[in-house]
Structure 1
Amino acid sequence: MQPTHRGVPARLARINPTAAFLAALALMLVGLLAPGIIGGGILLVLAAALVALLVLTWPIQPPGTRVLRLAAITLLLAAALLKIL
Protein backbone atom coordinates (compact mmCIF):
# COMPACT_ATOMS: atom_id res chain seq x y z
CA MET A 1 0.00 0.00 0.00
CA GLN A 2 1.40 3.40 -1.00
CA PRO A 3 1.12 6.43 1.26
CA THR A 4 -1.52 8.88 0.09
CA HIS A 5 0.48 11.99 0.97
CA ARG A 6 2.80 11.54 -2.01
CA GLY A 7 0.23 13.23 -4.23
CA VAL A 8 0.27 16.43 -2.20
CA PRO A 9 3.91 17.37 -2.93
CA ALA A 10 3.39 16.60 -6.60
CA ARG A 11 0.34 18.88 -6.72
CA LEU A 12 2.21 21.60 -4.82
CA ALA A 13 5.10 21.38 -7.28
CA ARG A 14 2.71 22.24 -10.14
CA ILE A 15 1.55 25.48 -8.51
CA ASN A 16 2.90 28.65 -10.08
CA PRO A 17 5.27 30.14 -7.43
CA THR A 18 4.43 33.71 -8.39
CA ALA A 19 0.69 33.07 -8.06
CA ALA A 20 1.19 31.36 -4.70
CA PHE A 21 3.29 34.27 -3.43
CA LEU A 22 0.77 36.86 -4.62
CA ALA A 23 -2.12 34.93 -3.05
CA ALA A 24 -0.29 34.70 0.29
CA LEU A 25 0.63 38.38 0.10
CA ALA A 26 -2.96 39.37 -0.65
CA LEU A 27 -4.23 37.24 2.23
CA MET A 28 -1.67 38.78 4.58
CA LEU A 29 -2.65 42.31 3.53
CA VAL A 30 -6.33 41.53 4.05
CA GLY A 31 -5.49 40.15 7.49
CA LEU A 32 -3.46 43.21 8.40
CA LEU A 33 -6.09 45.65 7.17
CA ALA A 34 -9.15 43.83 8.53
CA PRO A 35 -10.32 44.98 11.95
CA GLY A 36 -9.42 43.23 15.21
CA ILE A 37 -10.15 39.57 15.66
CA ILE A 38 -11.21 39.05 12.05
CA GLY A 39 -7.82 40.18 10.77
CA GLY A 40 -6.05 38.17 13.45
CA GLY A 41 -8.02 35.09 12.51
CA ILE A 42 -7.10 35.49 8.85
CA LEU A 43 -3.45 35.81 9.80
CA LEU A 44 -3.68 32.71 12.01
CA VAL A 45 -5.21 30.72 9.14
CA LEU A 46 -2.38 31.87 6.87
CA ALA A 47 0.20 30.93 9.52
CA ALA A 48 -1.38 27.48 9.92
CA ALA A 49 -1.20 26.92 6.16
CA LEU A 50 2.45 27.98 6.12
CA VAL A 51 3.25 25.67 9.05
CA ALA A 52 1.61 22.77 7.20
CA LEU A 53 3.69 23.59 4.12
CA LEU A 54 6.84 23.86 6.24
CA VAL A 55 6.22 20.46 7.83
CA LEU A 56 5.63 18.92 4.40
CA THR A 57 8.82 20.34 2.89
CA TRP A 58 11.06 20.16 5.99
CA PRO A 59 13.18 17.15 4.86
CA ILE A 60 14.21 18.75 1.56
CA GLN A 61 14.92 22.29 2.79
CA PRO A 62 18.46 23.41 3.59
CA PRO A 63 19.01 24.60 7.18
CA GLY A 64 19.25 28.27 6.18
CA THR A 65 15.88 28.16 4.47
CA ARG A 66 14.35 26.44 7.48
CA VAL A 67 15.53 29.22 9.78
CA LEU A 68 14.17 31.94 7.48
CA ARG A 69 10.80 30.23 7.15
CA LEU A 70 10.53 29.71 10.90
CA ALA A 71 11.37 33.39 11.45
CA ALA A 72 8.73 34.50 8.93
CA ILE A 73 6.06 32.29 10.51
CA THR A 74 7.02 33.56 13.97
CA LEU A 75 6.63 37.17 12.83
CA LEU A 76 3.28 36.35 11.22
CA LEU A 77 2.07 34.71 14.44
CA ALA A 78 3.24 37.72 16.47
CA ALA A 79 1.35 40.06 14.14
CA ALA A 80 -1.76 37.90 14.43
CA LEU A 81 -1.62 37.88 18.23
CA LEU A 82 -1.05 41.62 18.37
CA LYS A 83 -3.98 42.11 16.03
CA ILE A 84 -6.25 39.97 18.22
CA LEU A 85 -5.19 41.62 21.46
Structure 2
Amino acid sequence: MIKIEKDNPTLLKYKTSYKDNDFKIIDIRRKCRKSLVDLKLFNLNSDIKISLEKKKDLVSLCHSNAIPKTHWSFYETLEAEVKAINTEADESD
Protein backbone atom coordinates (compact mmCIF):
# COMPACT_ATOMS: atom_id res chain seq x y z
CA MET A 1 0.00 0.00 0.00
CA ILE A 2 1.33 3.44 -0.93
CA LYS A 3 0.21 6.70 0.61
CA ILE A 4 1.07 10.30 -0.26
CA GLU A 5 -0.36 13.04 1.90
CA LYS A 6 -1.34 16.44 0.55
CA ASP A 7 0.55 18.24 3.32
CA ASN A 8 3.81 16.38 2.57
CA PRO A 9 3.90 15.47 -1.12
CA THR A 10 7.62 14.72 -0.99
CA LEU A 11 7.18 11.93 1.54
CA LEU A 12 6.17 8.57 0.15
CA LYS A 13 4.64 6.32 2.79
CA TYR A 14 4.27 2.62 2.18
CA LYS A 15 3.47 -0.72 3.76
CA THR A 16 4.49 -4.10 2.47
CA SER A 17 1.66 -5.83 4.31
CA TYR A 18 -1.79 -4.90 5.57
CA LYS A 19 -0.77 -6.42 8.88
CA ASP A 20 1.79 -3.64 9.40
CA ASN A 21 0.50 -0.90 11.65
CA ASP A 22 2.95 1.83 10.69
CA PHE A 23 3.90 3.13 7.29
CA LYS A 24 7.54 3.24 6.26
CA ILE A 25 8.63 6.60 4.86
CA ILE A 26 10.80 7.50 1.87
CA ASP A 27 11.81 11.11 1.29
CA ILE A 28 11.58 11.64 -2.48
CA ARG A 29 12.79 15.24 -2.52
CA ARG A 30 15.40 15.94 -5.11
CA LYS A 31 18.67 16.20 -3.33
CA CYS A 32 20.98 18.77 -4.83
CA ARG A 33 24.66 18.08 -5.07
CA LYS A 34 26.76 20.02 -2.68
CA SER A 35 30.08 21.28 -3.79
CA LEU A 36 32.86 19.05 -2.56
CA VAL A 37 35.20 21.96 -2.19
CA ASP A 38 34.22 25.48 -1.24
CA LEU A 39 36.49 27.51 -3.49
CA LYS A 40 36.02 30.57 -1.31
CA LEU A 41 38.22 28.88 1.26
CA PHE A 42 41.16 28.92 -1.10
CA ASN A 43 43.07 32.02 -1.98
CA LEU A 44 43.81 31.36 -5.63
CA ASN A 45 46.18 34.33 -5.71
CA SER A 46 48.37 32.86 -3.01
CA ASP A 47 52.06 32.10 -3.24
CA ILE A 48 51.45 28.43 -4.02
CA LYS A 49 53.02 27.56 -7.36
CA ILE A 50 53.25 24.38 -9.39
CA SER A 51 56.33 23.09 -11.15
CA LEU A 52 57.00 24.28 -14.67
CA GLU A 53 56.83 20.69 -15.94
CA LYS A 54 53.38 20.19 -14.38
CA LYS A 55 52.10 23.43 -15.91
CA LYS A 56 53.38 22.36 -19.35
CA ASP A 57 51.59 19.02 -18.96
CA LEU A 58 48.33 20.70 -17.92
CA VAL A 59 48.45 23.17 -20.80
CA SER A 60 49.18 20.32 -23.23
CA LEU A 61 46.08 18.53 -21.89
CA CYS A 62 44.12 21.69 -22.66
CA HIS A 63 45.36 21.86 -26.23
CA SER A 64 44.69 18.16 -26.79
CA ASN A 65 41.06 18.83 -25.70
CA ALA A 66 41.31 16.53 -22.68
CA ILE A 67 40.28 19.56 -20.60
CA PRO A 68 37.22 21.54 -21.79
CA LYS A 69 37.91 24.97 -23.29
CA THR A 70 35.91 26.67 -20.56
CA HIS A 71 38.66 25.76 -18.06
CA TRP A 72 41.69 26.60 -20.19
CA SER A 73 42.20 30.10 -18.81
CA PHE A 74 42.52 28.69 -15.29
CA TYR A 75 45.30 26.30 -16.27
CA GLU A 76 47.06 28.75 -18.56
CA THR A 77 47.25 31.42 -15.83
CA LEU A 78 48.58 29.14 -13.10
CA GLU A 79 51.86 30.35 -11.71
CA ALA A 80 54.77 28.00 -12.14
CA GLU A 81 57.89 28.11 -10.08
CA VAL A 82 61.15 28.41 -11.91
CA LYS A 83 63.94 26.57 -10.15
CA ALA A 84 67.33 28.18 -10.29
CA ILE A 85 70.13 25.85 -11.25
CA ASN A 86 72.94 26.00 -8.70
CA THR A 87 76.43 25.77 -10.08
CA GLU A 88 79.69 25.50 -8.22
CA ALA A 89 80.60 29.01 -9.39
CA ASP A 90 77.47 30.40 -7.69
CA GLU A 91 78.34 28.69 -4.41
CA SER A 92 81.82 30.19 -4.25
CA ASP A 93 80.44 33.78 -4.29
TM-score (norm 2): 0.27
Bigger proportion of residues as strand: 2
TM-score (norm 1): 0.29
Bigger proportion of residues as helix: 1
